């Protein structure tokens, strides 16, 4: 039968070995935890960088898309204005000038296209755009919206909303009088006048009194808001130039980078999902 002291020694030895094993296991677990945390932090940094890359390329693609849309509009304006012996590049800068540079290139191109599509010639579009700038200042809203309001009134012969604006009231009265005179001399009512007749009378009166209306609207006065609007338009033009540069360098390459950035983001997210249980266990 072993001595009590021998048993005690053996028990202490076994207990010491168990404690050493426990300490070693704890150190191993701490190493695993530290490695997992370092790995997680590394992948988080990479994921953030990949996300930033994704947004950068996504914004660049938006610039390129805007430039492509502008090029399409320019092509359409060139086709529409050809019968007047002009080009889009001859009309668009003029529209920017009459609005004190408050229209961006894309906005001026849209106005030109809409005006030509409605049957107005370049000279009429230029004057109506100048009046639209003053109307937008007085009534609020964009120059594009004001231009649409003017062309709609002239095309349809409906001036109820414009007559409420003091600058247009005398001209609208003249238009209505001209329509009545034409109707009386042709034994018709004003309601029987054709849309083309009403349009020609209205456009003639508006262009005739262009300066009078413009002065009444205060269109020649450049306000602080006008200056900010002009600055914003130049920024838009800059992004348009950047977009054209991206198109010239190849949208295909941009799309590939965009795909790679998205794929990398998904990969990092998946790896984070894999290592997160390790971190939770170590905690």
CA geometry: angle at 186 spanning 185 and 191, to 5°?
Answer: 105
Residues in the chain: 283
Residue 27: its pLDDT value, please?
58
Measured N-to-C along each axis, helices 251-282 and 224-249 cross at an angle, to the nearest 10 degrees, of 90
Predicted local confidence at residue 108, as pLDDT: 95
Higher pLDDT, 46 or 210: 210
| Banded pLDDT at 11 (limits 50, 70, 90) | very low
The Cα 174–Cα 159 span in angstroms is 12
CA 42 to chain centre: 35
- Does 153 have pLDDT greater than 70? yes
How large a percentage of the chain has pLDDT more than 70?
64
**Section 249-278 average pLDDT:** 57
Average pLDDT of 238-253? 68
Taking the C-alpha atoms of residue 120 and residue 206, their distance in angstroms, rounded to an integer, is 13
Question: Mean pLDDT: which of 20-34, 82-96, 252-266 is highest?
Answer: 82-96
Assess whether pLDDT exceeds 70 at residue 99: yes
Reply yes or no on whether the pLDDT at 41 is more than 70: no
pLDDT tier for residue 164 given thresholds of 50, 70 and 90? confident
Report, as an integer, the average pLDDT of 128-153. 90
Q: Give CA–CA dist 224/187, Å, rounded.
A: 52
Distances in whole angstroms, Cα of residue 262 to Cα of each of 84, 184, 257, 269:
49, 71, 9, 11
Res. 103 pLDDT band, cuts 50 70 90: very high
């Amino acid at each position: 039968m072993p001595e009590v002291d021998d048993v005690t020694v053996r028990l202490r030895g076994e207990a010491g070995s168990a404690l050493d094993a426990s300490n070693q296991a704890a150190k191993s677990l701490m190493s695993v935890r530290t490695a997992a945390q370092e790995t997680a932090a590394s992948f988080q940094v990479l994921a953030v960088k990949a996300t930033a890359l994704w947004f950068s390329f996504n914004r660049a693609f938006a610039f390129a898309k805007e430039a492509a849309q502008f090029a399409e509009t320019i092509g359409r304006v060139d086709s529409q204005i050809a019968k007047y012996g002009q080009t889009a590049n001859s009309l668009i800068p003029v529209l920017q000038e009459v609005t004190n540079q408050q229209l961006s290139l894309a906005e001026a191109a849209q106005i030109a296209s809409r005006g030509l599509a409605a049957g107005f010639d370049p000279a009429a579009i230029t004057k109506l755009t100048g009046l639209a700038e003053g109307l937008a200042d007085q009534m609020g809203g964009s120059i594009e919206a004001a231009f649409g309001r003017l062309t709609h009134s002239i095309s349809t012969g409906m001036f109820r909303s414009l007559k409420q604006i003091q600058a247009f009231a005398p001209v609208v009265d003249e238009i209505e009088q001209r329509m009545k005179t034409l109707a009386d001399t042709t034994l018709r009512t004003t309601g029987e006048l054709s849309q083309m007749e009403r349009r020609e009378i209205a456009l003639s009166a508006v262009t005739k009194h262009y300066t009078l209306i413009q002065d009444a609207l205060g269109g020649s006065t450049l306000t602080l808001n006008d200056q900010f609007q002009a600055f914003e338009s130049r920024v838009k033009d800059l992004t348009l130039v950047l977009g054209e540069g991206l198109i010239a360098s190849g949208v295909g390459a941009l799309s590939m980078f965009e795909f790679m950035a998205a794929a990398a983001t998904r990969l990092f997210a998946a790896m984070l999902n894999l290592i997160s249980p390790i971190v939770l266990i170590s905690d």
